[in-house]
């Protein structure tokens, strides 16, 4: 089960909050971008049961919303993106029913990370602070990770004598390699932003005071793109990770057939021939 590790670490368009101010996961949709924000800053955005259940609900909601063409996952406050399991709640529940506590991986973490990985649209992680344990895994499950220069990553599982979860065993070695993944898991430490970039954990590192602007610009660019094509690329790259070359080619063919039948493809070709810039509708 994922664990938590402490660390010191402009638009005028209307926003659409999908949760109350006291909710532990906030959702805002603006210009095709859904920002999913874990909102427990006093707990460094640790994941208690209520937060895990709401996070899964929100991710499934934005996955099927045709008005959402890009998803941004982030945390609240400058200290943490998400530090994984709420260990205070974990200990309380362990005293009541140990078996139910340990089942949270299958009941909560696996469905949450699956919703992120299988979403048919681009997903960004806005890493505003430390990402640890399951929080790190959730960031790794996103397509791109834009990281504040004050943030960092920590596997942290070994520190509480637990194995890794939330897809860490699958995602981490694909980003940093087998040996480095085991080193980071065996010997947990905070990997600061600059090192995270060199290792491949971060896609971009930006000054903390520029994080919102940089992510907004990137997310809006993706949201204005050909959503079906971007989602198909996402699926094709994921498919190729576990299949041989011929299977990858066959899957690419299916995705080309899928995208070739979209209105966006026709618009793009017509715009190209007319020497105009296409305006995609995400369908």
pLDDT digits (tens, 9 = 90+) for 51-74: 999 999 999 999 999 999 999 999
Identify the structural domains of the chain with CATH numbers, from first to last. 16-223 (3.90.226.10), 227-273 (1.10.12)
Sheet with strand 80-82: strands edge to edge = 80-82, 130-132, 152-154, 191-192
135-178 per-position pLDDT tens digit: 999 999 999 999 999 999 999 999 999 999 999 999 999 999 99
What does pTM read for this prediction? 0.90
Across 43-56, b (16+ Cβ under 10 Å) vs e yields bbbbbbbebbbbbb
């Amino acid at each position: 089960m994922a664990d938590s590790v402490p660390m010191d670490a402009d638009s005028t368009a209307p926003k659409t909050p999908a949760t109350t101010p006291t909710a532990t996961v906030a959702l805002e949709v603006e210009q095709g971008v859904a920002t999913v924000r874990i909102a427990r800053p006093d707990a460094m955005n640790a994941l208690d049961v209520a937060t895990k259940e709401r996070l899964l609900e929100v991710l499934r909601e934005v996955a099927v919303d045709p008005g959402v063409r890009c998803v941004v996952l982030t945390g609240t406050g400058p200290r943490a993106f998400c530090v994984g399991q709420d260990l205070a709640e974990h200990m309380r529940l362990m005293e009541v029913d140990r078996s139910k506590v340990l089942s949270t991986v299958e009941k909560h973490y696996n469905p949450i990370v699956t919703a992120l990985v299988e979403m048919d649209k681009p997903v960004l992680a806005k890493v505003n602070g430390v990402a640890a344990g399951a929080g790190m895994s959730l960031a790794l499950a996103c397509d791109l990770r834009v990281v504040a220069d004050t943030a960092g990553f920590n596997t942290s599982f070994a520190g509480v004598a637990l194995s890794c979860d939330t897809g860490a065993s699958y995602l981490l070695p694909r980003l940093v390699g087998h040996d480095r993944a085991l080193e980071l898991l065996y010997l947990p430490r905070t990997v600061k932003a600059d090192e995270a970039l060199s290792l491949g954990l971060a896609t971009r590192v930006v000054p903390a005071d520029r994080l919102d602007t940089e992510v907004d610009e990137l997310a809006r660019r993706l949201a204005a793109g050909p959503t079906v094509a971007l989602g198909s690329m996402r699926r094709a790259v994921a498919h190729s990770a576990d299949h041989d070359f011929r299977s990858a080619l066959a899957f690419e063919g299916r995705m080309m057939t899928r995208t070739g039948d979209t209105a966006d493809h026709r618009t793009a070709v017509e715009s190209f021939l007319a020497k105009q810039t296409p305006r995609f509708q995400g369908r």
